[in-house]
Amino acid sequence: MGKYFGTDGFRGEANVDLTVEHAYKVGRFLGWYYGREHKAQIVIGKDTRRSSYMFEYSLVAGLTASGADAFLLHVTTTPSVSYVVRTEGFDCGIMISASHNPFYDNGIKVINGMGQKLEAEVEEKIESYIDGEFGEIPLATKENIGRTVDFVAGRNRYIGYLISLATRSFKNFRIGLDCSNGSASAIAKSVFDALGAKTYVINNEPNGTNINTDCGSTHIHVLQEFVKEKGLDLGFAYDGDADRCIAVDGRGNVVDGDLIMYVCGKYLKEEGRLNNDTIVTTIMSNLGLYKACDKAGIKYEKTAVGDKYVYENMVQNGHCLGGEQSGHIIFSKHATTGDGILTSLMVMEVITEKKQSLETLAGEVKIYPQLLKNVRVADKKTARENPAVVKAVEEVGASLGDDGRILVRESGTEPVIRVMVEAADDELCEKYVNQVIDVMKEQGLIVN
């Protein structure tokens, strides 16, 4: 990770950690970098945060001042930007979003011409320019100044693409959608309605400050209650920029990213379409997923947390399905990044083709109890490498043996250490997570 760019772009509190000056400079650099040999064309999408409009205008000012043309998708999803970049021939794409973070945070995600996360070496150059170490970049003049183009047609083409992927009609299905008052609000219902579903939508009235607030994939209990109350067949919840999806079955049970990967992976294997009979997971995936995969003859690989790393592994090894427990699922045949709405459609394909309910399909996996606690610290590296903390983690690992595991890692987007334990029951999870956090408190590593 760099000074500004983490595992998922440049993210922080709007006008505190991430300012309009930062956005302007990102635009200035990208407009110049991609426009050295031709007039750059760069597409921009945003989520529904109040500050997204502010950053959009700052980025446009920087891009056009450097001579690039800026194409505006307006409110849309991160995966739609990726899709438009790679299918419409743009030099790069920019998504303004802090994903699942609170509304007062925001972020700038840059997507390269192949629809993938921007290369680290280019991010380093952007950081150098922001800090005044790169040198001056010329301003465009006269007819070379860039223009701004309304490109809502690109978002509409993405919606059409999603609809085209469905193998069967969703007629007679009662489906709930929690749009998290974010990007999915502009897209998800249109897709499911077009495919014939009886669609029940909640949290699709964004006001700039309610994105991710007690809704969406990070507050799945809201959709659970809604599905049970309305007697729906199932439901899908997205995060702020709709690159995540968590499902809820007809009984109100949560079907997270691990379960979605199992359901889709087993189906693809049966169809002869799971490349290498392998799925790609992260180190956060549940032990229960691996045990179920072993039984189904599905192989798996593990990467660091972040769909960026999952996708890198998939490309290098020719795998077609990977993702995270949090709901970032990548179907490489159809997309180059996690896509929440696409994931919903792939789950529906399994349900409609196998004629089985989601609770039946996901019920084959016995999930181990898992507890994750986030601890705010002054310095992530110092906290994680503290000798007393390392010793406490090793002791917990030894106590769990083969019947569980502990994982302590740094957040890629926040000043947070994540402590996760899987064990035979909830009480053991609580005991061992607190055991490590207590040591961190004793060492004075935690801040309020």
Q: What topology does CATH give the domain 5-153?
A: Alpha-D-Glucose-1,6-Bisphosphate; Chain A, domain 3 (3.40.120)
* CATH dotted code for 370-442: 3.30.310.50
Q: Confidence class of residue 58 from pLDDT cuts 50, 70 and 90? A: very high
Residue spans of the domains in the chain: they are 5-153, 166-362, 370-442
pLDDT digits (tens, 9 = 90+) for 218-262: 999 999 999 999 999 999 999 999 999 999 999 999 999 999 999
Q: What is the CATH number of domain 166-362?
A: 3.40.120.10
pLDDT band at 307 (very low <50, low <70, confident <90, very high): confident
What CA–CA distance (Å, rounded) separates 189 from 191? 5
Sorted by sequence, the CB contacts under 8 Å of residue 328 that are 6+ apart come out as 243, 244, 257, 307, 310, 338
217 is in an annotated binding site: no
Is pLDDT of 2 > 80?
Answer: no
Percent of the chain with pLDDT over 70: 100
Give catalytic status of residue 97 as yes or no: no
99 known ligand binder: yes
At 254-301, the pLDDT tens digits run 999 999 999 999 999 999 999 999 999 998 899 899 999 999 999 999
Mean pLDDT across the stretch 118-141?
Answer: 94
> What pLDDT sits at residue 15?
97
Res. 1 pLDDT band, cuts 50 70 90: low
Residue 51's pLDDT is 98
Active-site entry in 80, 97, 99, 332:
99
Each residue's pLDDT tens digit, 68-109: 999 999 999 999 999 999 999 999 999 999 999 999 999 999
129 has a pLDDT exceeding 70: yes
Indicate left, alpha or beta for 112 from its phi (over 0: left) and psi (-120 to 50: alpha): beta
Taking only the tens place, the pLDDT of each residue in 371-423 is: 999 999 999 999 999 999 999 999 999 999 878 889 999 887 788 999 999 99
For β-strands 9-13 and 105-111, DSSP reports them as antiparallel
User: Is 402 labeled as ligand-binding?
Assistant: no
Report, as an integer, the average pLDDT of 301-325.
94
Domain pair 166-362 / 370-442, same fold? no
Report the mean per-residue pLDDT for the chain: 95
326 known ligand binder: no
Pairing mode, if any, of strands 69-75 and 148-150?
Answer: parallel
Please tell me the predicted confidence (pLDDT) of residue 305.
84
Instruction: Report the length, in residues, of the chain.
Output: 448
What is the arithmetic mean of pLDDT over 179-203? 97
- What are the tokens at 289? 């997923």
